[in-house]
């Protein structure tokens, strides 16, 4: 015994229900009554069965749209001797579609955003009370709906609608792009790729310069786009510049302790000490512990000199 194939109809509210031939029969009967035409029940039943069977031939039986059913009913009636009924059926569905659209949830959300009745201020860069803010938020409502219906997959759409996942920047999917950005700071800093219309910057060689460039990059990018900007691993990005600063501190200490050394010899000597420290203490906490005593004594000496100068 062959298994009965079940057709699933996707309604305008995006919910699904089983294909019901009786709804087609009732719709045709109501249109015929308005057109004052007497259509035999057998004819109406045959039309509904033909439409049902035509969908059985499709590969995807689980995503039949209501509008596709209505179109087939219109075609069947127009091809028959009951064209007045067909016109009444078309006019009825046109009016129902206008009413449905006007009272739909998507239009309700659109009107709320357009009239500033649902202010959320989701983005710090834009005031939703302003003219441009209301226009932008209203358009985002329609863009999100378009993306769900025409861009993302059926599974993704259902997961988003049912709150299983949340698609960030969903409205931007309609244009095939994104809105927010994780800035790739590593190549921008290390390769000197940071440049604007007015200038550029060389790769930084200390933590202070690196942080200043990061601030500049984030400010520049924030001006260029509506969404937020961020860094995915700012701590890891800062590692080489922390090492540069540490290396410079070591050079300063050695220069202070070995003022008799020539400059080139001093730098070479500093590099060797730095390399040895990394070999001996690869872990950060051990390296810091070893250097703490060195810099503590160095800072005390500098402080004492400063105090001496101030007392004179």
In this predicted structure, the answer to whether residue 298 has a pLDDT above a threshold of 50 is yes
Write down the domain spans for the chain.
8-103, 115-173, 181-232, 237-311
Of 152-161, 213-222, 243-252, the one with minimum mean pLDDT is 243-252
pLDDT, the chain, mean: 78
Q: Give the pLDDT of residue 4.
A: 56
- In Å, how far from its chain's centre is CA 285? 38
Mean pLDDT value of segment 78-95:
90
pLDDT at 243 over 70: yes
Of residues 264 and 261, more confidently modeled? 264
Determine contact, residues 73/51, Cβ cutoff 8 Å.
yes
Lowest mean pLDDT: which of 14-18, 45-49, 59-63? Answer: 59-63
Res 2 pLDDT > 50: no
Dihedral sign, Cα of residue 173, residue 234, residue 217, residue 193: negative
Q: Which of 272, 271, 277, 270 is nearest to 254 (CA)?
A: 270
Phi, psi angles (nearest 5°) of residue 8: -110, 130
Cα–Cα distance measured from residue 299 to residue 297, given in angstroms and rounded to the nearest whole number: 5
CA angle (109 as vertex; 64, 120 as ends), nearest 5: 135
pLDDT above 50 for 56: yes
pLDDT for position 87: 92
pLDDT at 212 over 80: yes
pLDDT of residue 28: 92
Check residue 221 and give its pLDDT: 81
From 54-58, 132-136, 253-257, the region with the lowest mean pLDDT: 253-257
Q: What is the pLDDT of residues 136-156, one digit of tens each?
A: 888 888 899 899 888 888 888
pLDDT digits (tens, 9 = 90+) for 263-297: 555 556 555 655 555 554 444 444 455 555 555 55
Q: Does residue 183 surpass a pLDDT of 70?
A: yes
pLDDT band at residue 88 under the 50/70/90 scheme? very high
Q: Tokens 């691993």 identify what position?
A: 233
pLDDT of residue 273: 57
Say what the pTM is: 0.43
- Phi, psi for residue 10 in degrees, rounded to 5: -90, 115
In this predicted model, what pLDDT tens digit does every residue of 9-37 receive, in sequence order?
888 777 788 888 999 999 999 999 999 99
Alpha-carbon torsion, ordered 151, 154, 160, 164, to 10 deg:
-150
Give the pLDDT score at 308.
60
Pick from 39, 37, 27: nearest CA to 74: 27
Local confidence band at 45 (pLDDT 50, 70, 90 cut-offs): very high
Task: Dig out the tokens for 216 from the structure.
Answer: 């500049």
**Range list of β-strands (E), the chain:** 8-10, 16-18, 64-65, 181-182, 229-230
Residue 103 or residue 26, greater confidence:
26
- Which residues partner with 230 through β-bridges? 182
Separation between Cα atoms, residue 161 and residue 139, nearest integer Å:
19
Cα separation, 11 vs 214, whole angstroms: 50
Sort strands 229-230 and 181-182 into parallel, antiparallel or unpaired.
parallel
Residue 303 clears pLDDT 70, i.e. is over it: no
Let me know: does 240 contact 186? Beta carbons within 8 Å.
no
């Amino acid at each position: 015994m062959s298994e009965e194939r079940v057709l699933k109809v996707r309604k305008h509210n995006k919910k699904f229900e089983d294909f019901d031939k009786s709804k087609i029969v009732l719709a045709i009967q109501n249109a015929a009554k308005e057109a004052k035409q007497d259509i035999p029940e057998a004819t109406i039943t045959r039309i509904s069965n033909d439409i049902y069977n035509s969908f059985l031939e499709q590969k995807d039986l689980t995503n039949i749209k209501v509008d596709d059913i209505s179109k087939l009913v219109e075609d069947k009636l127009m091809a028959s001797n009951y064209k007045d009924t067909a016109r009444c059926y078309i006019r009825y569905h046109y009016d129902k579609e206008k009413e449905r659209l006007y009272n739909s949830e998507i239009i309700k959300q659109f009107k709320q955003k357009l009239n500033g009745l649902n202010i959320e201020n989701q983005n710090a860069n834009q005031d939703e009370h302003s003219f441009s803010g209301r226009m932008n938020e209203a358009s985002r409502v329609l863009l999100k709906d378009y993306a769900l219906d025409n861009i993302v997959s059926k599974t993704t759409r259902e997961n988003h609608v049912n709150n299983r996942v949340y698609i960030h920047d969903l409205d931007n999917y309609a244009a095939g792009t994104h809105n927010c950005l994780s800035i790739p700071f590593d190549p921008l800093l290390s390769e000197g790729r940071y440049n604007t219309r007015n200038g550029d910057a060389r790769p930084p060689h200390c933590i202070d310069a690196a942080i200043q460039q990061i601030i500049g990059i984030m400010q520049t990018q924030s001006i260029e786009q509506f969404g937020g900007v961020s860094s995915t691993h700012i701590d890891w990005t800062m590692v080489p510049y922390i090492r540069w600063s540490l290396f410079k501190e070591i050079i300063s200490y050695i220069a202070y302790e070995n003022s008799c050394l020539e400059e080139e010899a001093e730098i070479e000597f500093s590099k060797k000490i730095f390399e040895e420290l990394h070999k001996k203490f690869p872990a950060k906490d051990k390296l810091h512990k070893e250097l703490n005593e060195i810099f503590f004594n160095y800072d005390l000496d500098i402080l004492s000199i400063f105090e001496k100068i101030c007392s004179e």
